[in-house]
Structure 1
Amino acid sequence: MRVFIGEDQGLLRDTLAQALNARGVEVAGTAGSLPDILDRVADVRPDVCLLDIRMPPTGTDEGLRAAEWIRAHHPGIGILVLSQHAETAYAVRLLEVEDEARGLGYLLKERVADLTVLIDAIERVARGEVVVDPVLVSRLLARRRASDALSRLTERERDVLALIAEGRSNAYVARHLHCSGKTVEKYAASVYSKLGLAVEDPITRAEMNTRVLAVLAYLRHST
């Protein structure tokens, strides 16, 4: 697996590259600004781009702009964005970079300190999964509103949706909640129905898109 790192802090960029290489993840290239990322990614063609949200020249949303450009020009490249803060609007924007969002992730920058967690997220994004940091999910779950669409969900359905929002598979959800896969499928189908989303066969690509739509609904209605 080949990874490209977009990070403006030179020390962090180099340290991260060395650590990933040491763990068997090939760092195919690095850059420290939006123009450099756009210039180099086309030549490197990595499996996953690891992007800091705030980089030169403006230090605002360059990572997201890079993600949008990469997905438009090289849709096969996975994108994992790192942020210092759990910013819901940025997470929603990332997942909306295209209609059929796949291979996308939003992770808090503190995860860099735990290479096992970071590499797991990189590998999941490379497989086409959607990853949302658990801290962001848990904070949103705590901010309930009686009037929002999520109020129609039962407590167990909320638990299932929270794990789906992290990018977890049905098998993982079943293990975590100590129930059967069939039970998780029933809860997920109920969640999709209550959120007004079509339910598709779980082994098809369309089902993955339904899961992403559920995540978007979760993020939107929890802000």
Structure 2
Amino acid sequence: MRVVIAEDNVLLASGLELLLNSQGFEVVAIAADAPGLLAAVESHRPDVTIVDVRLPPTFRDEGIRAAVQARHDHPGLPVLVLSQYVEQEYAGRLLADAGGGIGYLLKDRVSRVAEFTDALRRVAGGGTAMDPEVIAQLLAARGDPVDSLTAREREVLALMAEGHDNATIARRLVITDNAIHKHIGNVFLKLGLSAGDSGHRRVRAVLAYLRHHGGTTLSPTTSHPRP
């Protein structure tokens, strides 16, 4: 699996390259800024990209904007965004594209190698990988239907949005499969989403809900507010 990395921190970029190469990935290019990312994607057509939110020269949102531009130029390009902190505005912009192949992880997640590489493979396969902390803060920032969910239903929704299947959710929460089906049914009912969705379609339905209640579509040429 061929990977392009956009990260200006040389130590982190080198560490990612060594880690991924040891796990069976092939890092074909490392870019230190947004133009470098776009050029690398155009040249190598990678299976997945890893992009830091903040890149030179201003270290604001160059990375996320370059990721949006790359997906505009190459529809469906899988993008896994890394961020030092949960930045809700940027997460919302990324989630505005519900086409699949999207991930948003905090950088400390990289140290959990199996978790990180699993997320990267999931994104490369067209799925979704969201950091639990990102999901928790996005949900906390939303009002309306989410407020009607029970604490357990919120836990189930967060794990669904991370991309986990029913069996994994049941195992993590130490409850039965029947209980999971019931909770998921309640979540979809309260959020007005179809309970017939499954797998990544189900995740995209959750992300579509988050987008509808706060994610702002960001086109490659749209101006942006200061963070």
TM range (shorter): 0.7 to 0.9
The alpha-carbon deviation at position 166 of structure 1 amounts to: 2.1
The alpha-carbon deviation at position 197 of structure 1 amounts to: 2.6
Could you say which residue in structure 2 is the equivalent of 1:8? Answer: 8
Specify the SS of the correspondent of 2:75. Answer: coil
Structure 2 residue identity aligned to 1:3: V
The alpha-carbon deviation at position 182 of structure 1 amounts to: 4.5
| Pairing 1:1-223 to 2, within 5 Å after superposition | 1-96=1-96, 98=97, 100-139=98-137, 143=140, 148-202=144-198, 206-216=201-211
Specify the SS of the correspondent of 2:8. Answer: coil
CA distance in 1, matches of 2:85, 2:152: 28
The alpha-carbon deviation at position 212 of structure 1 amounts to: 2.3
**Deviation digits for residues 172-195 of structure 1 (CA, Å, limit 9, x no counterpart):** 112222334444233223212212
**Unaligned ranges ≥5, structure 2:** 216-227
User: Could you state the TM-score of these two structures normalised by the residue count of structure 2?
Assistant: 0.83
**Deviation digits for residues 93-112 of structure 1 (CA, Å, limit 9, x no counterpart):** 1111x2x3311111111222
Structure 2 residue identity aligned to 1:54: R
Structure 2 residue identity aligned to 1:90: Y
**Unaligned ranges ≥5, structure 1:** none
User: Kindly tell me: are residues 69 and 140 of structure 1, through their superposed partners in 2, closer, same or farther at Cα, counting changes over 3 Å?
Assistant: closer
Higher relative contact order (CA 8 A, sep 6+): 2
Structure 1 residue identity aligned to 2:198: P
The alpha-carbon deviation at position 134 of structure 1 amounts to: 1.5
The alpha-carbon deviation at position 64 of structure 1 amounts to: 0.8
Specify the SS of the correspondent of 1:81. Answer: strand
* C-alpha RMSD of the superposition: 2.4
User: Kindly tell me: are residues 197 and 132 of structure 1, through their superposed partners in 2, closer, same or farther at Cα, counting changes over 3 Å?
Assistant: same
Check conservation: 2:4, 2:30, Cα contact below 8 A. Answer: yes
Structure 1 residue identity aligned to 2:206: R
60-69 or 171-180, which moves further after superposition? 171-180
Percentage of matched positions with identical amino acids: 43
The alpha-carbon deviation at position 218 of structure 1 amounts to: 8.1
User: Across the two proteins, how many residue pairs are aligned to each other?
Assistant: 215
CA distance in 1, matches of 2:146, 2:134: 16
Structure 1 residue identity aligned to 2:204: N
127-136 or 171-180, which moves further after superposition? 171-180
Q: Show structure 1 runs of 4+ deviating over 6 A.
A: 217-220
